[in-house]
Homo-oligomer: A and B are copies of this chain.
Amino acid sequence: MRVMGIDPGLTRCGVGVVEGRPGAPGTMIAVDVVRTDPEAPLADRLLALDDGLRALLEAHRPEAVAVERVFSQHNVASVIGTAQASGIALLAGARLGLPTATYTPSEVKNAVCGNGTADKHQVTAMVTRILRLKEAPKPADAADALAIAVCHLWRGGVKARIAQAAAAQAAAVAAAKERTR
């Protein structure tokens, strides 16, 4: 399964594409940052971000999109731009009919570091190890996007297995009911 992780931001939006499956080390397909000009009008920046994300979705064709959830606890001055960028990211995935998911920063840290309060260096170190990279991913601020993709692969896999098991059980119950008719 191929997942695009997105660390939303209006000035710098991290994008990491990882292929893999739950419990196994994944493979990094791409890592990039979509940048928009802080001096440009807001609508132009949102359009540039949307264009950039669409181009990356087109180039790497992920099967799912995972976006870091914006928190009101973030710096209030920057939360509005981050929220707008996350909205554009989720819309870009949904527009292509892809499943989307959001994860809190602590869910992402917990998934890759086993610790919801891990710092940026730990996240980068673990992403480098999990994806068996020779060196830390560059640009450095895109490491979080890879961590979000890994988080979705691992957690999404668990969720998918639970959903699969529930569906199998529901089917078994339905079949049993059918037999007793």
Contact A91 B94 (CB under 8 A): no
Smallest Cβ distance from A152 to chain B, in angstroms? 13
Contact A80 B72 (CB under 8 A): yes
Majority secondary structure of chain A interface residues (helix, strand, loop or mixed): helix
Contact B90 A46 (CB under 8 A): yes
Contact B42 A102 (CB under 8 A): yes
What's the number of copies of this chain in the assembled complex? 2
**Residues of chain B lying within 8 A (CB to CB) of residue A46:** 87, 90-91, 94
Contact A91 B50 (CB under 8 A): yes
**Residues of chain B lying within 8 A (CB to CB) of residue A83:** 79-81, 83-84, 87
**Residues of chain B lying within 8 A (CB to CB) of residue A85:** 87
Smallest Cβ distance from A143 to chain B, in angstroms? 24
**Residues of chain B lying within 8 A (CB to CB) of residue A70:** 80
Task: Give 9 A-B pairs besides A46-B91, A81-B83, A84-B84 with Cβ atoms closer than 8 angstroms.
Answer: A43-B93, A46-B94, A47-B94, A50-B95, A72-B76, A80-B83, A84-B90, A85-B87, A91-B91
What residues make up the interface of A, taking CB atoms closer than 8 Å to B?
41-44, 46-47, 50, 70, 72, 76-77, 79-81, 83-88, 90-91, 93-95, 100, 102
